[in-house]
Structure 1
Amino acid sequence: MPTRREFITKTVCAASLLPFSAYAFNNSIFEQQDDVLNVNIFSKHLQFLDYKSTGEIVAEMGFSGVDLTVRPNGHVLPESVKTDLPKAVKAITASGVNCSMITTSIESVNNPLDVDILKTAGSENIQYYRTNWYKYKENMSMQDSLLFYQNEVKQLGDLNEKLGLIGCYQNHAGTSVGASYWEIQKILETVNPKHFGTQYDIRHAMVEGGKSWENGFQLLQKNIKVIVLKDFKWGQVNGKWEPINVPIGEGMVDFDKYFKLLKKHNLKPPVSLHLEYDLGGAEKGDYEITVDKKVVFDAMKRDLKKVQQLWKNA
Structure 2
Amino acid sequence: MQRREFIQSSTALALGALLASQSIYANTPQTNNSQLNLNVFSKHLQFLNYADMADAAANIGFDGVDLTVRPKGHVLPERVTEDLSRAVEGLKSANFSPNMMTTAITDVHQQDSKAVISTAGQLGFKVYRMGYYRFNQDSKPPQALKEFNQKLKELAVINKQANIKGAYQNHAGVSFVGAQVWDIWHMLEDVDTEYMGCQYDIRHASVEGAQSWPVTFNMLRNNINSLVLKDYKWQKVNSKWKLKNVPIGQGMVDFKGYFAILKSLDINLPVSMHFEYDLGGAEHGAKKIAGNGADVFAAMQRDVEQVRLLWQQA
TM-score bracket relative to the smaller structure: 0.7 to 0.9
Q: Which runs of structure 2 are paired with 1:212-251 in the superposition (5 Å)?
A: 212-251=212-251
Q: What corresponds to 1:136 in structure 2? A: 135
C-alpha contact 2:38 2:62 (8 A) present in aligned 1: yes
Q: TM-score, normalised by structure 1?
A: 0.87
Q: Which residue of 1 aligns with 2:6?
A: none
Q: Partner of 1:260 in structure 2?
A: 260
In the aligned structure 2, how far is the partner of 1:164 from the partner of 1:204? 28
Offset from partner CA, 1:165-192 (integer Å, 9 cap, x none): 0000000001211001110000011211
Aligned residues of 2:33 and 2:263 also touching (Cα < 8 A): no
1:88 is aligned to: 87
Partner residue in 2 for 1:119: 118
Deviation sequence 1:264-306 (CA, Å, 0-9, x none): 1110111100010000000000001002111100011110011
Alignment of 1:35-184 (within 5 A): 35-136=34-135, 140-174=139-173, 175-184=175-184
**Are the aligned partners of 1:137 and 1:145 in contact in 2 as well (CA < 8 Å)?**
no
Q: Which residue of 2 aligns with 1:276?
A: 276
Alpha-carbon offset, residue 35 of structure 1: 3.2
Ranges in structure 2 where 5+ consecutive residues have no aligned partner: 1-31
**SS of residue in 2 equivalent to 1:211:** coil
| Cα distance in 1 between the residues matched to 2:253 and 2:43 | 22
* Residue pair 1:199, 1:228 contacting (<8 A) in 2 also: yes
For 1:128-154, what per-residue CA distance to the aligned partner results, in whole angstroms no more than 9, with x for missing partners?
Answer: 000000012555411111000000001
Residues 1:34 and 1:261: Cα distance change in structure 2 (over 3 Å):
closer
> Secondary structure in 2 aligned to 1:98?
coil
Q: Which has the higher contact order (CA 8 A, sep 6+)?
A: 2
2:153 and 2:192 in contact (8 A); partners too:
yes
Q: Could you tell me how far apart the structure 2 residues matched to 1:129 and 1:98 are?
A: 14
SS of residue matched to 1:158 = helix
Number of residue equivalences:
282
Task: Give the whole-Å Cα distance in 2 for the aligned partners of 1:180 and 1:301.
Answer: 32
The code of the aligned residue for 2:121 comes to: G
Mapped partners of 1:61, 1:46: distance in 2: 12
**1:142 is matched by which residue type in structure 2?**
P
Deviations 1:78-110 (A, max 9, x none): 111110111001111111123311000001111
Matched-pair contact (CA < 8 Å) for 1:233–1:243: yes
1:309 Cα deviation after fit: 0.8
Q: Is the 8 A contact 2:91 2:98 kept in 1?
A: yes
What is the rounded CA distance, in whole Å, between the counterparts of 2:123 and 2:44 in structure 1?
22
For the residues of structure 2 that align with 1:139 and 1:249, how far apart are their CA atoms?
Answer: 39
> Partners in 1 of 2:188 and 2:133 — Cα distance?
13
Aligned equivalents of 1:237, 1:124: Cα separation in 2: 47
Letter of the 1:110 counterpart: H
Q: In percent, how many aligned pairs have the same letter?
A: 46
Bigger Rg over Cα: 1
Which amino acid in the other structure matches residue 222 of structure 2?
Answer: K
Q: Which amino acid aligns with 1:261?
A: I
Specify the alignment match of 1:5 in structure 2. none
SS at match of 1:96: coil
Q: Deviations over 1:25-70 (max 9, x none)?
A: xxxxxxxx94311000000000000001011111111211000001
Amino acid in the other structure paired with 1:173: A
> Per the alignment, in what secondary structure is the counterpart of residue 198 of structure 1?
strand
Q: Structure 2 CA distance, aligned partners of 1:75 and 1:212?
A: 36
Secondary structure at the aligned position of 2:172 is classed as coil
Q: Any idea what SS the aligned residue of 2:212 has? A: helix
Structure 1 unpaired stretches of 5+: 1-32
Q: Distance in 1 between matches of 2:69 and 2:240?
A: 34
Structure 2 distance, partners of 1:236, 1:284, is: 23
Q: Deviation of residue 241 (structure 1)? A: 0.8
- TM-score, length basis structure 2: 0.87
1:35 touches 1:312 (CA, 8 Å); kept in 2?
A: no
Over 3 Å counting, the alpha-carbon distance change for 1:139 and 1:242 in structure 2 is closer
What SS does the corresponding residue of 1:200 show, helix, strand or coil?
strand
